[in-house]
A and B are shown apart, each in its own frame.
Chain A
Amino acid sequence: MNGHAAIEVEGLRKRYGEREAVRGISFTVRRGEVFGLLGPNGAGKTTTVEILEGYRERSDGRVSVLGMDPGTRPAALRRRVGIVLQSSGLYRHLTVREAVEHWAGLYPAPRDVDETIALTGLEEAAGVRTRALSGGQQRRLDFALALIGDPELVFLDEPTTGFDPAARRQAWDAVRSLQELGKTVLLTTHYLDEAQALADRVAIVKDGAILAEGAPGDLGAGAQRFRVSWRGEDGEAHVRETADPTALLHEITGAALARGERLHDLGVSRPSLEEVYLELTAGDATAAA
């Protein structure tokens, strides 16, 4: 058993009747990293995560979470993971502090209640009943309840879907604080910027299969293409792609100087993760470079 992997998934499949929601997914999440499953709605992300959390049974494949099989729902595993579900309710008549205190009592070695409330930025809401919380505050309470048992591994299923930008930033800060605590995090999202901002490594999922995997920067740069763009004096936009931007820039600027022309909006860019993502998840998977 590889002691450094928090999650190992090999050839995971899940069928619902005729439909196969997950078709042979494999990936490994190392200890201490934030791993993102990125993909459009219906790609099989939640099914995959819920199998790892022990909510669903797999049809085929091998799965190991902290060295245990979540399919048998071992209690020892539930003591060591924290789960933030896509949407899940709260006891509406409890205050934030009461909810966190109660959850602390479910775990053998919980974190400090006050510290956890502070960590998730809920100090001012500690005495508020949960039904009166804003969406962003409820999400932070989800984080607090997932963290209170001091888990080694935290599952975050679409932690910011439906949020306004401010609430999103708050949730992102909460994820970063998990990272600083040294937790392993498995995150699903259909927001590209979220994967880019939070994940150490990303797997792009579509139709129940992984199309690409790697660090967000590497996925973008993986194509080894650079794009040079500018506008001439006539205002016409030009774009050229190259593997060697130094030479191309020299050529373009040299020619412009020779003509006594100024180039506007001159820039060099690499394909962003977004472009890779859109390319990969487009109707037909043509160029998976």
Chain B
Amino acid sequence: MSDHAIDGVRPADRSREAVPWRRAAWRQYRLERRMFWRNPSAAFFNFLLPLLFLALFGAIFSGDRDTLQVIVPGIAGMAVMSTTFSALAMNLTYLREAGILKRVRGTPLPTSAYLAGIAGSAITNTAVQVGLITVAGTMVFGLDPPRDWPALVLFVVVGVWCFAALGVALSHAIPNFDSAPAYVNAAFLPVIFISGVFYDADDAPRFLRDVAEVLPLKHLIDGLSGAMVAGADVDHLLALAVLALWGCAGTLLAIRGFSWDARRA
């Protein structure tokens, strides 16, 4: 072969620098937002349902300040769980079964940037919902504004981490997308009922109280009500410790079980 062979020069010699991580994550985030609003049923279940509950319970108990002080932080806690845990478990099951995860894995998009985009979109929903619930609690239902903003932010952040990790972990256990709503609701509905979203958890029977005490949502709601409602007597450290424990377990399971492909060899 001749040394002058020009076809030996590859076009790849031009610059092939990677797309910067931040730009990749930001693009993924914007794509997720756009798709979220284009899927009306997902938008409804993940976004409007907690707000609808707030409106209903607010109307039923309007004027009953004591009950509203339980329900507003309760629904804020439920919103954190539904926007992260439920949404991510459903979303990832779909993405995996549809083969979208596998397709994305074949591109240069870094895994961390991809997951950051998806999680960022879920967290946006959380922030907007908790914001709306807080505003509605003050403006519509006449509660006092949150008394401890740093604690409110802290508990929302820890709650998001904990439930997002658990949602990703749960998605590994869901065999296919058809059964995803059943799995998600089997976890979500009992937990919101026993954790004091709609009533003061301390009024529940002893057995249910003990179960709720072990699970993370009650502690998130405790933390939120401590931050939002004056005079609530809450052990912040215990609540944070339980949330962090579940968050660590969820993170471990989310990473160890992560699968890109619906076919498991």
Using CB atoms and an 8 Å cutoff, list the residues of chain A in contact with chain B: 3-4, 16, 53-55, 66, 75-76, 78-81, 83, 85, 87-91, 93-94, 98, 102-103, 105-109, 145, 149, 152
Q: Assess A83 versus B106: contact at CB under 8 Å? Given A105-B19, A109-B16.
A: yes
- A199–B96 alpha-carbon span in the complex (Å): 32
10 tightest Cβ-Cβ pairs between the two chains A and B: A89-B98, A88-B99, A93-B38, A83-B106, A88-B103, A89-B99, A78-B108, A79-B108, A89-B100, A106-B107
Interface 0/1 of B89-108, CB less than 8 Å to A: 00000010111101101111
The smallest C-beta distance from A53 to any residue of chain B, in angstroms, reads: 6
25 CB < 8 A contacts A-B: A3-B8, A16-B265, A55-B105, A55-B106, A55-B261, A66-B12, A75-B108, A76-B16, A79-B18, A80-B16, A85-B99, A88-B102, A89-B97, A89-B98, A90-B98, A91-B31, A94-B38, A102-B31, A103-B107, A107-B108, A108-B15, A108-B19, A108-B108, A145-B103, A149-B107
In the complex, residue of chain B having the shortest beta-carbon distance to the beta carbon of A83? B106
Q: Is the CB of B24 within 8 A of A93?
A: no
In the complex, residue of chain A having the shortest beta-carbon distance to the beta carbon of B23? A105
The smallest C-beta distance from B69 to any residue of chain A, in angstroms, reads: 40
Q: Is the CB of A80 within 8 A of B12?
A: yes
Q: Helix, strand, loop or mixed for chain A's interface?
A: loop
Range class of the B interface residue count: 20 to 34
The smallest C-beta distance from A86 to any residue of chain B, in angstroms, reads: 9
- A87–B98 alpha-carbon span in the complex (Å): 9
Contacts of B98 in A (CB 8 A): 88-90
Q: Is the CB of A4 within 8 A of B8?
A: yes
- A105–B27 alpha-carbon span in the complex (Å): 8
Contacts of B24 in A (CB 8 A): 105-106
- A134–B198 alpha-carbon span in the complex (Å): 47
Q: Is the CB of A78 within 8 A of B27?
A: no
Give the contacting residue for A87; candidates B12, B31, B99, B106; CB below 8 A: B99
Q: Is the CB of A78 within 8 A of B15?
A: no
- A85–B261 alpha-carbon span in the complex (Å): 12
B109 at the interface (CB under 8 A from A): yes
Q: Which of B12, B23, B39, B97 is packed against the most chain A CB atoms within 10 Å?
A: B12
Q: Assess A78 versus B12: contact at CB under 8 Å? Given A93-B35, A105-B27.
A: no
